Amino acid sequence: MFVVTVFTLLAVYFAYRLLRSFLYPKKLITDVSHKYVLITGCDSGFGRVTAVHLDGLGVHVIACCLTEKGAENLRNECSDRLRALLLDVTSSVNVQDVYETVKRIVPPNIGLWGLVNNAGTLDVGPIEWLPLSSYKHVADVNLWGMIDVTKAFLPLVQQAHGRVVNVSSITGRFCPKFLSAYVISKYGIEAFSDALRREMRPFGVKVSIVEPEGFKTNIATGFLDRVKQHWKNLSEELKAVYGERFLNRGEYKIYPNVHKQVCPDLSPVVNAITDGLLSFSPQTRYVVGGFGCHVILAVASLPGSIADWCFRLIFSRMNGAPPEPEICKQK
């Protein structure tokens, strides 16, 4: 029954994709010489590669970086059209300053054609290990920062009847273990984007969500170091609950192992972002990943108890038989 359900869901999904490709064939805007697009999180990863790609197409890119080094690298690599600005999305004062700068960059009555919210960060570990500050920091960057930037620049996007593209994740639709801080922010992005899309329709603004699977970016740098630091900060009582064996062989270690094997080619995500910005009929959601990605989404739509069993099976096969917390063995 389970297999039939999963394959039925997949069949419906791919039938929809096929039908959509016939009804709405891909057609991109080609005259981009007067299009201005702002992208956050351009120091590395999706943001940086997207900025370089759009600059090559002739788009006027406003690339927002957290560091001067990231901004300088883009200035050296791209044309004079690209403007690299420093932006910390967690600072409302900085967001407003950049908004005022962008208003001076964009010609009068042109507006901002595209806003790509890409800035992101990550933390990992069991819920009991993560301090509240970790949840707040991840949400400040991934969610509240996105909302702040979007609200600031919406008047310029509305003026152009343009596009908003929010980079979420496949985990915006299901939550694996040990990624709660990250996934909570991604669930929030999905909800915010859905509300924004419906509210912006009367303004002629289109909103898309890009949901990548695993791609090799710098977001997972220092993965295990952060987990070990969280362990060091635990009370002795909580360390006894989990045990050293869980720290050394815990299931959370699957993530850095998987990250070493994921696709280093970021072009599928860049293409999805570009389509969201320049397609005459952009998709609501762009799921970017292989067949396994669609299987995971199909499983996530099953009843909770069945989905939980499936995910336990999937992760155990990927990571062997990881140890449980020490106290669980005593029951």
- Residues classed as catalytic: 182
- Sheet of 285-288, strands arranged across: 83-86, 60-65, 36-39, 114-117, 163-167, 206-212, 285-288
Residue with tokens 């050296």: 76
- Quick check: 163 and 156 in contact, CB under 8 A? no
Amino acid at position 84, single letter: A
Residue 157 makes CB contacts below 8 A (sequence gap 6+) with: 111, 112, 113, 114, 115, 163, 164, 205
Nearest to 259 by CA among 206, 215, 209: 215
d(CA 31, CA 60): 12
d(CA 115, CA 111): 11
- HEC secondary structure over 161-216: CCEEEEECCHHHCCCCCCCHHHHHHHHHHHHHHHHHHHHHHHHCCEEEEEEECCEC
The region that residue 4 occupies, defined by phi over 0 for left and psi between -120 and 50 for alpha, beta otherwise, is: alpha
